[in-house]
Chains A and B, each alone.
Chain A
Amino acid sequence: MTIPIDRLDRELGWLMLGALIALVVASIAGAILARRATSEKGKATVANLNDRIRAWWVMCAVIAAAVLAGNAGSVVLFAAISFLALREFVTLIPIHHGDHRALLYLFFIVTPIQYWLLWTDWYGLFVIFIPVYAFLLLPARSAMAGDTADFLARTAAIQWALMICVYCVSHAPALLLLDIPDYIGENAKLLLFLVIVCESSDVFQYVWGKLFGKRKIAPSVSPNKTWEGFIGGVATATLIGALLWWATPFSPWQAAIMALVIALMGFAGGLTMSAIKRDRGVKDFGGLIAGHGGVLDRIDSLCFAAPVFFHLTRYFWHG
């Protein structure tokens, strides 16, 4: 099988150039807004916006470096993201001393195995390893410690941490495993498609919400989510996805539908993770990414979009 390296490289280059242009435009817009802002509240909003844009430069650089380093780079990047997300999630859940060993296994055995399965292309075990083996054995290890107070709540929280931070996140680099006819060796662009659509849905929900947001969707969960932001953001992301069809195995219409699904799942992810933060009484999961909060605050939408996008693509396009 000959791999059309030339085509791959050129299209990958276009995607990255597009991201670069978007960053430059955003930075210029941020600088203009910074000059125009007059009120205290406006200045604070613009300062946060510019923090976010600066962080996007770093995040895009990291993703580009990982993708250019090949499949190994992507697998290592998402394994690191899983680790950082897990660290933030476990901080917030009601664990006891009796869960310590189970959590050590979760961090240092289960998570590496999940990414090792990905790396060795062992699909059958990759999709069931966490839901079958980890979900059954980790609670058993906690039970062995003998502390039954709040056992169900602790166990459920640990399983949810594993589900969101490791199982879901690992489905983004799993896109690299798919064998799609006429698309062999080009899967990195599918991963970028997912990330670009998902994150632009977040960004444009924020932008449309800031500009026109009035009617709140779920004020008790997330006061910043409005119908105007939701509709504008999802529509914009769908359009961006459709316009990127040439980088995917999809037709323009198929790309639009996939982008719509990604954006909708992303919204569900953001809302669900907001509910968790609200429940635990925090505003952000962490502070690693200036302006955005923690790693989980940035990838909450990706967590929900990745497995669904992966399985839809696999079901309809996998050779």
Chain B
Amino acid sequence: MSPLAALAAAWLARVAAGPKVRYCADGPPSRQSIFFANHQSHLDFVVIWSVLPPEMRARTRPVAAKEYWTASAIRTYLSVEVFRAVLVDRANPSLSALRGEMEVLLAALDAGDSLILFPEGTRGSGDRIAPFRGGLDFLARERPDVDLVPILLDNLERIMPKGEFLPVPQLSTVIFGAPLHRRQDESKPDFLARARQAVIDLEPGHP
């Protein structure tokens, strides 16, 4: 990893997205976590990453789509060298391939790293948060000790809408929720619904 480029990227993300950060009652995250957020733009993980405490930032890796983040030399450099992204291949939908991708994520967790992932799988359109895919459930079941931290992002889709490659600088919001864990008796759909609701509940004005 190149720390200088990483620092520059975090600084640029803050300039472009002016993130206003709100933490839950416990303050900024300090334990190994899986951060999961609603997906609005390609800036999302950089912005989350840029507002983490520096010692957390060094040990936090975004989970990103391989086909997008290795499509050009610059993207490959950014994802592999700067952000140390865990690249996931979504092109091959077979069960064995999926299993292989999950093993990569577990290995990253076992190395002590935190992860940033977007369980909607794709960038949503508008305000609605799409149903969560199963990966979060799998990780939560396999590594029950890791904190699952919900994050709500706002205004990033206006800063960098789909199909654009330069951001129009504006202010955004990053809200961290209280960590949650998967209950042992909880079914997969129940847990995924609860995790999604935890993100929705962070919207201002929600209970």
Contacts and interface: CB of A to CB of B under 8 A. Distances in A.
- Asked if chains A and B come from one complex, the reply is yes
Interface of A: 83, 86-88, 90-91, 95, 97, 100, 103-104, 107-108, 286-288
Interface of B: 18, 20, 155, 158, 161-162, 164, 166, 168-171
A-B pairs with lowest CB-CB distance, top 7: A91-B170, A103-B168, A91-B171, A87-B169, A97-B161, A90-B170, A100-B164
Nearest to A294: B171
A147 to B, nearest CB: 12
Contacts of A287: 20
17 contacts: A86-B169, A87-B18, A87-B170, A88-B18, A88-B171, A90-B168, A91-B155, A95-B158, A97-B161, A100-B161, A100-B164, A104-B166, A104-B168, A107-B169, A286-B171, A287-B20, A288-B18
Contacts of A288: 18
Nearest to A102: B168
B125 to A, nearest CB: 11
A90 B155 CA distance: 11
Given A83-B169, A287-B20, A288-B18, 18 more contacts: A87-B169, A87-B170, A87-B171, A88-B18, A88-B171, A90-B169, A90-B170, A91-B18, A91-B171, A95-B158, A97-B161, A97-B162, A100-B168, A103-B168, A104-B168, A107-B168, A286-B20, A286-B171
Contacts of B20: 286-287
A288 B169 CA distance: 15
Contact of B18 (A103, A104, A108, A286): A286
A159 to B, nearest CB: 16
Nearest to A288: B18
